């Protein structure tokens, strides 16, 4: 019993302090997702326009969560979670959205965000599975190749540009 309490405290404290968690659902790759810790679970919002994708996080399913160190970026703890999708308009949804809204950065619609989330997004709770314990640390490198994307880099900087910008500052 003591080990379970210590594991629960470790999961909660590490997840609260981390800005991102790495989540892998039943399908799809592991993804870095922003979250809020509230009432014993990690809350996520996504799968809508302008929000993070939540692939493989189906209601009633499970997920594996890896928490990274905020300062060093290394793995602190891993844990298994039960995925619970919150229905829009319910008391649990309202409480979750109130917490998420305060932490959402760079939202385009500000005060209209909860209404948009109710129409177009999913709000998900990742509840730590009691008794599952924390995941053992991996011995190897946890780096993964980047996910495929349509984004491209711009062309190389023209060779004369640094000189041109340097002259502008002096003058």
CATH number at residue 43: 2.30.110.10
Range in 1-15, 43-57, 150-164 the model is least confident about: 150-164
Q: Two tokens at 132?
A: 């599952």
What's the number of domains the chain is made of? 1
Can you tell me the distance from the alpha carbon of 117 to that of 47, in angstroms, rounded to the nearest whole number?
A: 9
Instruction: Supply the pLDDT for residue 120.
Output: 94
Q: Which domain holds residue 133?
A: 2-170
User: Does the reported pTM lie above 0.95?
Assistant: no
| Interval 99-105 mean pLDDT | 89
Whole-angstrom distance, CA of residue 73 vs CA of residue 116: 32
Q: Give the other-Cβ count within 10 Å of 53's Cβ.
A: 13
For tokens 């298994």, name the residue. Answer: 80
Q: How confident is the model at residue 169 (pLDDT cuts 50, 70, 90)?
A: low
Greatest alpha-carbon pair distance for the chain in Å reads 71
Tokens 């999961």 belong to residue:
11
Q: By the 8 A CB rule, do 81 and 126 touch?
A: yes
Phi, psi (degrees; rounded to nearest 5) at 169: -70, -40
Q: 129-160 burial, b for 16+ CB within 10 Å, e for fewer?
A: eeeebbeeeeeeeeeeeeeeeeeeeeeeeeee
pLDDT at 98 over 80: yes
Per residue in 136-168, pLDDT (tens digit) is: 655 566 677 777 888 777 778 788 888 888 776
């Amino acid at each position: 019993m003591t080990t379970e309490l210590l594991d629960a405290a470790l999961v909660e404290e590490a997840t609260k302090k981390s800005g991102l968690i790495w989540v892998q659902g039943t399908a799809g790759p592991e993804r870095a997702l922003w979250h809020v810790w509230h009432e014993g679970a990690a809350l996520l919002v996504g799968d809508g326009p302008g929000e993070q994708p939540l692939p493989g996080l189906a209601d009633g399913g499970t997920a594996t969560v890896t928490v990274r160190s905020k300062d060093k970026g290394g793995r602190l703890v891993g844990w298994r979670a039960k995925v619970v999708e919150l229905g829009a308009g319910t008391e649990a949804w309202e409480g979750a959205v109130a917490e998420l809204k305060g932490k959402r950065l760079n939202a385009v619609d500000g005060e209209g965000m909860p209404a948009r989330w109710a129409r177009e997004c999913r709000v998900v709770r990742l509840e730590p599975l009691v008794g599952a314990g924390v995941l053992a640390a991996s011995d190897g490198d946890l780096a993964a190749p980047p996910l495929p994307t349509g984004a491209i880099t711009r062309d190389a900087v023209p060779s004369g540009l640094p000189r041109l910008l340097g002259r502008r500052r002096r003058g």
